[in-house]
Chain A
C-alpha cells in the first residue's frame, strides 16, 4: 500500500469482496458518498480560512472562541443557521424561492465529479470533462437569477440582473482562455490535461501564464467574489440576490458560492498548475513540516501535540522514502489558490459595474483571443521562433490593450459662475 494510492486502495479493499455485478455500483456509491460528505466539510473550512486570513490581514484574530483556533466556528455557524427562522417573503414565489438555493449547490457539488484530485482519483474520467465543468458551472447563474426574481424584492432583482450580466460576460474570456489548453493537449479530459503537464506546467509557458490569469480572474468573477462581487454589493444592494434569504437557505447560497470558488481554484490547478503533478520530493519533508506545526501549536493540549508528533514520526518511518503523494500536491496547490482568492478579497475594493464589464469585454476578451493566436505560434512553429513570437505578441497586445483602455484625461473644468 503506497501513500500515493492510499484512498484508491482503501476503496478497493472495501468493495473487493462484493459479488462481481455489484462492484461498479458500490464503487460509484462510495465515490458519491465521499464527495457528498467532503463538500460541506470543504465549504465549512473555507469559511473558516477566509475569516481567519482576512482577519489577519486586518490585524485581527478572526474566530478564536469556539474550539481551538476557532476551528469549531463553522459548526456553530451551521447550527445557528439551522435554528434560524425560515422566511419566504409575502408575494414571493414560494416554490422557486425554495428551489433556487438548492439549484445553486447541486451544480457546485457536481463539479467535483470530474476534478482529478490525485493520480487515479477523478471520480469519473469524462472524455469531455472540461466541457462538463464549464457547462455545469454556468448553471449557477440560473439559480442566482431564479432566487433574485423569486424573492420579489428590488434589491434581489437588481443583484440578480447584475449577476447574470457579469456571469455571461466573464464566461466568454474564461472559455476562450482554456481553448489554448485544448489545442496543446488535444483532449477535453481533465486527466489527459494533467498528464500532458508532466514535462512542464502550462503556467510556465507564455500563453499558459496569460491564460491562467484570464481564467482565474474570470473564475473569481463568475463565483461572485470580491473584488467582483457586484451581485451582492452590500453597500448598494443590501445583500443582492440573497437579500430575502435567511436560515439554512442562506447557508446554502454560501455553500454554493464557496464550493464553486473551490472548484474554480481546483480547475485552475488542473489546467495550468500541473494538477496533481509535483516535483519528486520525499515525503519525510512534508511530514517533518507537519511535525513542526504540531509541536509549535501553542493552544493544543501537550498530550495531543506529543501524539501528533509521534504520529508524524510513524508516518515518516513508514512512508518517508516515497515521494509526496499526488493528492497532497493537488490540495496544496488548490489551497494556495484559495489563499490567493482570499488575499485578493482582503486587498482590493469592489469594482464599479462599468469597470467590471469593461474589464471583461475590453481587456480580458481581446487578450484571450490574442492568446489563442499565441498558442498557435507556440504549437506550430519550431521551438525558439514560436516561443519568441508568442511572447512578443502577448506583451505587445497587453501594452496596446492597456493603452486603449486608458480613460480619456479630461481637462479640469472651470466654473464661470462660481468665481
Chain B
C-alpha cells in the first residue's frame, strides 16, 4: 500500500513535469533523448501577434453584396431578411419617390436605408439563407471593436456594402455556388 500511495503522487508530479518540459525546445529534446512520447507542447496562438487560420466557412456579420459599382446592389429591399432575423436587428426603408411608389434603379427596387445593428446580430446566417436574391452574405471580419455601441456598432448601408469580388476573395467556394445559381436564374429569366 505504501507503494500505491507514493506512486499516485509521483505520477501526478510526473505529468505536470512532462507538460512543463514539453513547452520548451530543450525540454522536448530531453524527452526525445529519454524516449518519452510527447505532445505538441504550447498550442496557444498569441492573438494580436499571430492570427488563427480560419476556415473558409468562418462567419461573423452579414454584408450587402454589389456587382461592379456600389449603386448596383443586389438587394431589392424585399424586407424578407428584416422579418426573418431572429433578434430583429435589420432595419430597412424602401426608397420611394414623392408619390410613394418604389424607386427603381437598374430595373430593381432598392433600399434607401439598410442598417444592421451588429451589436445585436448573433451571426445566425438566417438572413443569408432567406434572401431570394443572394444579396446578403456573411463576412469574416472580426476585429470590429469600437468605443461606442450606438454609433460605431450600428452599420449603415454604406458600411455594409461590399463588392462581389470581395465576397469571391474571402469565400471562393460559396461565391462560386452563388454565381452559378445567379447565372441559372438569369438564363431562365431571359430565355433564348
Chain A interface residues toward B at CB < 8 A: 53, 56-61, 64, 343-344, 346-348, 398-399, 402-403, 406
Question: Which residues B1-23 have CB closer than 8 A to chain A?
Answer: 1-2, 5, 9, 12-13, 15-17, 19-20, 22-23
A347 engages B16 (CB within 8 Å):
yes
The distance in angstroms between the C-alpha atoms of A57 and B15, with both chains bound, is 9
The distance in angstroms between the C-alpha atoms of A58 and B42, with both chains bound, is 9
A61 engages B46 (CB within 8 Å):
yes
In this complex, what residue of B is CB-closest to A340?
Answer: B13
A403 engages B24 (CB within 8 Å):
no
DSSP class of B's interface residues: helix, strand, loop or mixed? helix
A-B contact pairs, 9 of them (CB 8 A): A56-B20, A57-B17, A59-B23, A59-B41, A59-B44, A61-B46, A346-B20, A398-B2, A402-B5
A59 engages B42 (CB within 8 Å):
yes
Highest count of chain A CB atoms <10 Å: which of B13, B16, B19, B43: B16
Chain B interface residues toward A at CB < 8 A: 1-2, 5, 9, 12-13, 15-17, 19-20, 22-24, 41-44, 46
| Cβ distance A205 to chain B, nearest Cβ, rounded Å | 20
The distance in angstroms between the C-alpha atoms of A65 and B140, with both chains bound, is 27
B20 engages A53 (CB within 8 Å):
yes
The distance in angstroms between the C-alpha atoms of A343 and B22, with both chains bound, is 15
| Cβ distance B9 to chain A, nearest Cβ, rounded Å | 8
B42 engages A61 (CB within 8 Å):
yes
| Cβ distance B47 to chain A, nearest Cβ, rounded Å | 11
In this complex, what residue of A is CB-closest to B1?
Answer: A402
B1 engages A343 (CB within 8 Å):
no
| Cβ distance A296 to chain B, nearest Cβ, rounded Å | 8
| Cβ distance A321 to chain B, nearest Cβ, rounded Å | 28
What would 16 more interface pairs be, CB under 8 Å, given A59-B23, A399-B1? A53-B20, A56-B19, A56-B20, A58-B19, A61-B46, A64-B46, A343-B17, A346-B16, A347-B12, A347-B13, A347-B15, A347-B16, A348-B9, A348-B12, A399-B2, A402-B1
DSSP class of A's interface residues: helix, strand, loop or mixed? helix
B13 engages A343 (CB within 8 Å):
yes
The distance in angstroms between the C-alpha atoms of A58 and B15, with both chains bound, is 10
Chain A residues with Cβ below 8 Å from B16 are: 57, 343, 346-347
Chain A residues with Cβ below 8 Å from B46 are: 61, 64
Chain B residues with Cβ below 8 Å from A403 are: 1
| Cβ distance B11 to chain A, nearest Cβ, rounded Å | 10
Chain A residues with Cβ below 8 Å from B23 are: 56, 59
User: When the two chains form the complex, which single residue of B1, B2, B22, B44 contacts A60, counting CB atoms closer than 8 Å?
Assistant: B44
In this complex, what residue of B is CB-closest to A293?
Answer: B26
The distance in angstroms between the C-alpha atoms of A348 and B41, with both chains bound, is 21
In this complex, what residue of A is CB-closest to B25?
Answer: A296
Chain A residues with Cβ below 8 Å from B44 are: 59-61
The distance in angstroms between the C-alpha atoms of A347 and B42, with both chains bound, is 18
The distance in angstroms between the C-alpha atoms of A343 and B14, with both chains bound, is 10
B43 engages A59 (CB within 8 Å):
yes
The distance in angstroms between the C-alpha atoms of A402 and B8, with both chains bound, is 14
User: When the two chains form the complex, which single residue of B5, B9, B19, B43 contacts A57, counting CB atoms closer than 8 Å?
Assistant: B19
| Cβ distance B122 to chain A, nearest Cβ, rounded Å | 30
Highest count of chain B CB atoms <10 Å: which of A57, A60, A348: A57
Chain B residues with Cβ below 8 Å from A343 are: 13, 16-17, 20
In this complex, what residue of A is CB-closest to B22?
Answer: A59
Highest count of chain A CB atoms <10 Å: which of B5, B23, B41, B43: B23
The distance in angstroms between the C-alpha atoms of A406 and B5, with both chains bound, is 10
Chain A residues with Cβ below 8 Å from B2 are: 398-399, 402
Chain A residues with Cβ below 8 Å from B42 are: 59-61
The distance in angstroms between the C-alpha atoms of A398 and B2, with both chains bound, is 8
Q: Top 4 A-B pairs ranked by shortest CB distance?
A: A57-B16, A347-B16, A56-B23, A347-B12
The distance in angstroms between the C-alpha atoms of A402 and B2, with both chains bound, is 7
Chain B residues with Cβ below 8 Å from A348 are: 9, 12
B1 engages A56 (CB within 8 Å):
no
Chain B residues with Cβ below 8 Å from A64 are: 46
Chain B residues with Cβ below 8 Å from A346 are: 16, 20
Given A64-B46, A398-B2, A57:B20 Cβ within 8 A: yes
The distance in angstroms between the C-alpha atoms of A99 and B43, with both chains bound, is 45
The distance in angstroms between the C-alpha atoms of A419 and B5, with both chains bound, is 37
